[in-house]
Amino acid sequence: MRLAELSQRADVPRSTIKFYIREGLLAPGAVHARNQASYGSQHLERLELIRALREVAGLPLEVVSRVTAELDRGWQGNPIGEALRAMYVPPTHSSSHASKAELERLTAEVKEFLRALPWTTDEDYHDNAREIAATILQVRRYLYPDFAVAQLAKYAEIAWLLSEAEFTGAPEGPGVPIRARGDDIAEPTRRAILGTVLFERIFASLRRCANTMRSMRISLGEKVPPARVTRPGRSRATRRKPKSKRR
Amino acid sequence: MRLAELSQRADVPRSTIKFYIREGLLAPGAVHARNQASYGSQHLERLELIRALREVAGLPLEVVSRVTAELDRGWQGNPIGEALRAMYVPPTHSSSHASKAELERLTAEVKEFLRALPWTTDEDYHDNAREIAATILQVRRYLYPDFAVAQLAKYAEIAWLLSEAEFTGAPEGPGVPIRARGDDIAEPTRRAILGTVLFERIFASLRRCANTMRSMRISLGEKVPPARVTRPGRSRATRRKPKSKRR
């Protein structure tokens, strides 16, 4: 297709497309006679990815550019890692020497905690650890001065349970590319980044709702029903597509 | 104490304290002879609350002002609700008539879903429902066109489990004020808002870590350990304070 059609189908202005090509986020079209370039479905997909990363995930252009560069490296790259790192930079308000040293120490402790979990791999989780450590410093400062890293155990356990539910329940299966098969990683990357962002919002909303309801019930002396977890392995209901659309 | 001491202890400039008093976020001090006002511990507490809401929760001043106004109303107010509402305003990119109507319809459906959960109360959850609905619209647009509200069930179940773990595991107990006893709500409100914000960050970090590890394991053909949940009711370990600080 020509530039005009690409622009229309992707709903991205032509000048923006040209800018992406200049900046290396998008491959140039194949040049034919009469100096006309033609674009294929991979251009359309890439533009949709860029739009989603900008609009839904709220990533700045330079980060989107790093993600697409990693995508272009294929299995040698780490586009999801780049995106997640960029999305969740822990705020570093306090920059005194003392608190920097404390953050380093705590980050090392959180790393050790993560490494000891049954489900972690050898993958580097420095960024996660640092982010968690920075937040624990605030928890200690504003809420529980004695909050220990070991108290994360419950959260980690439930995070792994949620992860199991999410992967099992994904309408089209986990959609994880298999390295040995040489699967294409572009579309799984898009889904992983957007799934991370969107379901994080949904889950956070439900958690706030749950905590509000729980404190209402306690405050008013009402019954607090115990949590009940149906393991995704036992019930296959979440695996199926919805029987009917209830819209 | 005098203004200078209050300013020093709260680590808030005098001019800012005066501004908060003018704006009604902070009660004026008791005026003594020689035109000198004196301040008490409640002023210090309020200043610490304002700082935490600004710096940790990132709330704009006008929202902090609404929260403190609700606090001053005591049990008639809803300071936590005000804060949470302000913290999580769903982005409304699409404002066409069609999508507005769709959002309304979906919000109603999410409300119905929430109402049917075993743990919800009669409390109004319009904001939660709207936020979830707005995100589902994006899920449908970018990930799963057929995503049904009923698929939230698993998330809701795990949110309630997390809520149970959080309330049971709070080092000083749930800390929910009891209306019938006329408990003071200022400090529980502070803890509820900050706990919501900080543990949301921690849990989101762990979830991202879990999802990354899970996809790494699938991708590389490694074993994926099943999730295991120790119910907080059975083990009291999380209820205790940590035996030793492992720093």
pLDDT at A232 (0 to 100): 52
Instruction: Say which DSSP state B159 is in.
Output: H
CA pair distance A194, A17, nearest whole angstrom: 22
Check whether A84 has a pLDDT greater than 80. Answer: no
Q: Looking at chain A, which residue has its C-alpha nearest residue B180?
A: A220
For Cα atoms B74, B79, B85, give the angle at the middle one, nearest 5 degrees.
160
Angle formed by the axes of helices B79-87 and B186-220, nearest 10°: 40
| Confidence category of residue B93, pLDDT binned at 50, 70, 90 | low
A30-61 residues labelled b (16+ CB within 10 A) or e (exposed): eeeeeeeeebeeebbebbbbbbbbeebbebee
pLDDT at A107 (0 to 100): 94
Helices (H) and strands (E) in chain B, counts: 9, 2
Question: Quick one: three-class SS letters along A224-247?
Answer: CCCCCCCCCCCCCHHHCCCCCCCC
| Nearest alpha carbon to residue A228 among B190, B241, B175, B161 | B161
| Nearest alpha carbon to residue B10 among B48, B38, B36, B42 | B48
Which of chain A's residues have a Cβ under 8 Å away from the Cβ of B137? Answer: none
Query: What is the average per-residue pLDDT within A27-37?
Result: 84
pLDDT at B231 (0 to 100): 62
Q: B9: Cβ–Cβ under 8 A, 6 or more apart, which residues?
A: B1, B44
pLDDT at A109 (0 to 100): 96
Which of chain B's residues have a Cβ under 8 Å away from the Cβ of A221? Answer: 178, 180
Query: What is the average per-residue pLDDT within B206-227?
Result: 88
Q: Choose, out of A55, A125, A201, A240, the residue to mutate when testing the contact with B (most B CBs < 10 Å).
A: A201
| Confidence category of residue A95, pLDDT binned at 50, 70, 90 | low
CA pair distance A85, B223, nearest whole angstrom: 26
B56 or B20, higher pLDDT = B20
Q: Which helix (H) or strand (E) holds B187?
A: helix B186-220
Q: Looking at chain A, which residue has its C-alpha nearest residue B219?
A: A178
CA pair distance B237, A116, nearest whole angstrom: 18
Predicted TM-score (pTM) of this structure: 0.81
B231 or B53, higher pLDDT = B53
Which residue matches tokens 């450590």?
A133
CA pair distance B100, B75, nearest whole angstrom: 35
* Residue A178 to residue B219, Cβ atoms within 8 A: yes
* Residue A199 to residue B155, Cβ atoms within 8 A: yes
Q: Which of A135, A191, A210 sits opposite B163 (nearest CB)?
A: A210
pLDDT at A93 (0 to 100): 55
**Burial class of A179 by CB neighbour count within 10 A (0 to 12, 13 to 18, 19+):** middle
Residue A19 vs residues A22, A47, A61, A65: alpha-carbon distances, Å: 5, 12, 11, 12
Check whether A235 has a pLDDT greater than 60. Answer: no
* Residue A178 to residue B221, Cβ atoms within 8 A: yes
Helix, strand, or coil here: B99? helix
Check whether A4 has a pLDDT greater than 60. Answer: yes
For Cα atoms A8, A13, A15, give the angle at the middle one, nearest 5 degrees.
135
pLDDT at B107 (0 to 100): 94
CA pair distance B4, A122, nearest whole angstrom: 53
**Per-residue pLDDT tens over the stretch B171-195:** 666 677 777 787 888 888 888 888 8
Which of chain A's residues have a Cβ under 8 Å away from the Cβ of B226? Answer: 164, 233
User: Among the listed ranges A32-41, A87-96, B143-152, which one has the minimum average pLDDT value?
Assistant: A87-96
pLDDT at A142 (0 to 100): 87
Give the count of beta carbons closer than 10 Å to the beta carbon of residue A206. 24
Query: What is the average per-residue pLDDT within A5-24?
Result: 94
Q: Which of B136, B139, B154 sits opposite A165 (nearest CB)?
A: B154
Q: Choose, out of B82, B137, B158, the residue to mutate when testing the contact with A (most A CBs < 10 Å).
A: B158
Query: What is the average per-residue pLDDT within B123-129?
Result: 81
* Residue B209 to residue A55, Cβ atoms within 8 A: no
User: Could you tell me how many CB contacts below 8 A there are between chain A and chain B?
Assistant: 307
Which of chain A's residues have a Cβ under 8 Å away from the Cβ of B217? Answer: 119, 121
**How do beta strands A30-31 and B30-31 pair?**
unpaired
Check whether B243 has a pLDDT greater than 50. Answer: no
Percentage of the residues of chain B whose pLDDT score is greater than 90: 40
* Residue A227 to residue B164, Cβ atoms within 8 A: yes
What is the DSSP secondary-structure string of A100-144?
Answer: HHHHHHHHHHHHHHHHTSTT--SS--HHHHHHHHHHHHHHHHHT-
* Residue B196 to residue A211, Cβ atoms within 8 A: yes
Is residue B142 within 8 Å of B107, Cβ to Cβ?
A: no
Which of A63-72, A185-194, A236-245 is modeled with the greatest confidence?
A63-72
Q: Mean of the per-residue pLDDT values for chain B? A: 83
Q: Looking at chain A, which residue has its C-alpha nearest residue B178?
A: A219
Check whether B247 has a pLDDT greater than 70. Answer: no
What is the DSSP secondary-structure string of A34-96?
Answer: GG-EE--HHHHHHHHHHHHHHHTS---HHHHHHHHHHHHTGGG--HHHHHHHHHTPPP-----
**Per-residue pLDDT tens over the stretch B224-238:** 999 987 765 544 444
* Residue A159 to residue B80, Cβ atoms within 8 A: no
Q: Looking at chain A, which residue has its C-alpha nearest residue B128?
A: A205
Interface confidence, given as ipTM, is 0.81
